[in-house]
Structure 1
């Protein structure tokens, strides 16, 4: 029974220890600019197409559902307000969760896990190079920045797609749709959505880096680490999403 709880507790403790070490390394020069740019492009490359493919059906589904409800209560002119509120406060962060955890974090984990089983990480330590500062910090920051950009992309797709679907498919007045956008959604909601996305990217990057650096065994263990990254990142990100949304609702 003790072993049953000891292993996950050690893993949680190791994760928070690495998080604290990475936080200190972010403030300590030198900053790996080239690695950051390379990793940002790497995460963006593997995440861009899935983001577009996931955002469009999400947008259509939410807009379609909201418009049906608004028509039933005779408030079809408020479809823009509903689409903006749903897209910016929920669809953007939720799609970011799916893509960052399912594409970006797994790519980071597989890269670091492959380096670990090839003993590149041990070689770096022998040479006096801190793998946290050299590898983890650029990847975590790159994941956070790309998550923010993906969130902006999803929000843009959501609003444009909602407009096209509402106006051309469900015959909503285009002027009413545009005028309704700022009714329920303003700068505060946009900032909270952006903060959510940044936290999602940072947490997903930390989970991926921890599992990638602590992989044990051969090639099979790399696949196991990637699968664990998806599961643990989803769990962490959805929990953070619920907490931030609850705090926002409470304060609002």
Structure 2
């Protein structure tokens, strides 16, 4: 009986993956028709910026400080304490910044998107739009995808600055490393390709968070409980996809551009 249910579950999972891609492609297909979704895009950008800016700073500050504290202790034992700043900032730019931005977008903004789309489904607003010959994906999903990807990209700078400031406090003020040595390591290790790949990651991760949030909201059960479950599922699925894609991009990038030492 259990073995018979496995193909059914796999088939259902593949159907959901296919529907997710359909929503993504349909949402991007009419991107050129900016007039129909521009003001909704502006509204979503303002909303996402408002609900994510403070949380991402509060996450990045202690994160950078914790990394600087741990790395600084190990580096001090090896006689390379001045390299702590470089390790902290390089880690923030290459990995922490896009992941943190995506998690905040999916957790704070994506959950609100899912709840909004689910509420529209319960009130039959999506069906009403279709009756009026308005594609709800073009009108509602497209601006949310581009807003999530844009704000996720912009949040990268906040993560890097906040994390570097947190690391600066521990490394310079508490571990007696000079400010010049703290920032010199980063400038010698970072490459232009690191910044480009980081911005690309953040853009893709924000797009994924927006796609998953809209899809889960539009396909939830038509009950308040269904909306709540859709919000939970959207966050979990977005995190899984972001971490999986981050692994692929990072692996390919390190093969193409090996890290520079010194």
TM-score range, shorter chain: over 0.9
Q: Is residue 248 from structure 1 mapped to residue 256 from structure 2 by the alignment? A: no
- 1:57 corresponds to: 62
Moved more, 25-34 or 119-128: 25-34
Q: Is residue 179 from structure 1 mapped to residue 213 from structure 2 by the alignment? A: no
- 2:127 corresponds to: 122
Task: Indicate the SS of the match to 1:157.
Answer: helix
- 2:161 corresponds to: 156
Q: Aligned equivalents of 1:170 and 1:241: distance in 2?
A: 32
Is 2:62–2:163's contact at 8 Å kept on the other side of the alignment?
no
Task: Indicate the SS of the match to 1:217.
Answer: coil
- 2:72 corresponds to: 67
Deviation readout 1:80-121 (Å, 9 max, x if unpaired): 211211111122122113212211111111111101110000
Deviation readout 1:19-41 (Å, 9 max, x if unpaired): 11112121345341110010011
TM-score (norm 2): 0.92
Q: Aligned equivalents of 2:183 and 2:63: distance in 1?
A: 20
Q: Is residue 208 from structure 1 mapped to residue 213 from structure 2 by the alignment? A: yes
Q: Aligned equivalents of 2:168 and 2:19: distance in 1?
A: 47
TM-score (norm 1): 0.96
Alignment partner of 1:10 out of 15, 26, 34: 15
Alignment partner of 2:115 out of 110, 118, 121: 110
Q: Aligned equivalents of 1:192 and 1:72: distance in 2?
A: 33
* Consecutive unaligned residues in structure 2, runs of 5 or more: 258-262
Task: Indicate the SS of the match to 2:30.
Answer: helix
Q: Aligned equivalents of 2:256 and 2:16: distance in 1?
A: 34
How many residue pairs were aligned? 252
